[in-house]
Amino acid sequence: MHRRGVGAGAIAKKKLAEAKYKERGTVLAEDQIVQMSKQLETFKSNLEEFASKHKQEIRKNSQFRVQFQEMCATIGVDPLASGKGFWSEMLGVGDFYYELGVQIIEVCLALKHRNGGLITLDELHQRVLKGRGKYAQDVSQDDLMRAIKKLKVMGNGFGMIPVGGSYLVQSVPAELNMDHTVVLQLAEKKGYVTVSEIKDSLKWEKERACHVLDHLLKEGLAWLDSQAAGEAQYWLPALFSELTSRDVTPEEANQMTP
């Protein structure tokens, strides 16, 4: 009587099946890579054709860039991931945003002594446009936001805080939680906020309000005006408008502090 299914024979059979599966697995993956490289070639030539006609459009037209970015999002590709990607090499999308990234970093660095590393998207936009000069390509706020998203990769605390219908751009790794954000949003209307206002609008206790304001002071994001009529006012330089501020160099600032 032969016993089948168990023993050396069964083991051998299993091994054979495994080997076959493994082989098939190999072929499948290799096949797939070949298939992928073919599809890549097709896509590359489609993109080249598109680029040859419309490369300028990407650089000149911010609305076009938005459409383009949304198309990439639906595919699931990030055209800004690498300077070595097709998108950068053929369409030049990369250079546009990476250069913008450099300009954003430089503006934030230049103003950090004044606003502690927090700036409105509007002000950032204006200053970047000024820095680019008359003949440079137009830059929209959407462009800025995409560039900032990319900068996050490098640590250093780049982030965007929604405030009053727009955004505050943070460029330092200061810890800002929900409480801080909410106070910033409250301060947005007038550029400053008081403890009473926080208590009235947010229904917080005094300690909580003071804790948050102290943190903002320490991080250099808020300035204290203790001589204001009534009660002390906490001003946020990031929210200063043209009317209430004048640019001051770090040297001047040092001379002014008592």
Partner 1 sequence: MDRFSWSNGLLEINETLVIQQRGVRLYDGDDKAKLDVGVALLSTHRLIWRDIKNHECCVAMPLSQIIFFEEQAAGIGKSAKIVIHLHPAPANKEPGPYQHSKYPYIKLSFKEHGQIEFYRRLTEEMTQKRWESTPVSQSIPTGTGPQAGKIRAVGIVGIERKIEEKRKETDKNISEAFEDLSKLMVKVKNAKEMVELSRSIANKIKDKQGDITEDETIRFKSYLLSMGIANPVTRETHGSGTHYHMQLAKQLGDMLQAPLEERGGMMALTEVYCLVNRARGMELLSPEDLVNACKMFESLKLPLRLRVFDSGVMVVQLQSHSEEEMIASALDNVSEKGSLTAEEFAKLLGLSVLLSKERLLLAEKMGHLCRDDSVEGLRFYPNLF
For CA atoms 207, 213, 214, 219, the dihedral sign is positive
Strands 166-170 and 118-120, bridge-based pairing: antiparallel
Q: How far is the CB of 125 from partner 1 (least distance, A)?
A: 19
Tokens of 256: 């002014």
Could you tell me the end-to-end alpha-carbon distance of the chain, in angstroms, rounded to an integer?
A: 104
Residues 58-117 contacting partner 1, CB under 8 A: 61, 64, 67-68, 71-72, 74-88, 94-95, 98-99, 101-102, 105-106, 112
Near partner 1 in 213-232, by CB under 8 A? 214, 217-218, 224
Helices 93-115 and 141-151, axial angle in degrees (round to 10):
80
Select the residue interacting with partner 1 from 69, 141, 157, 232 (CB under 8 A).
Answer: 157
Residue 212 CB, nearest approach to partner 1 (Å)? 12
Instruction: Provide the minimum distance between the beta carbon of 155 and partner 1 in the complex, in angstroms, as a whole number.
Output: 3
11 or 77: whose CB is closer to partner 1? 77
Distance CA 171, CA 155 (A): 10
Q: Dihedral angle at the C-alpha atoms of 199, 192, 142, 173, nearest 10 degrees?
A: -80
Give yes or no for residue 161 binding partner 1 (CB under 8 A).
no
- Provide the 10 A C-beta neighbour count for residue 195: 17
Beta carbon nearer to partner 1, 26 or 201: 26
By beta-carbon proximity to partner 1, the closer residue of 5 and 258 is 258
Q: Residue 19 Cβ, how far from partner 1 at the closest point, in Å?
A: 12
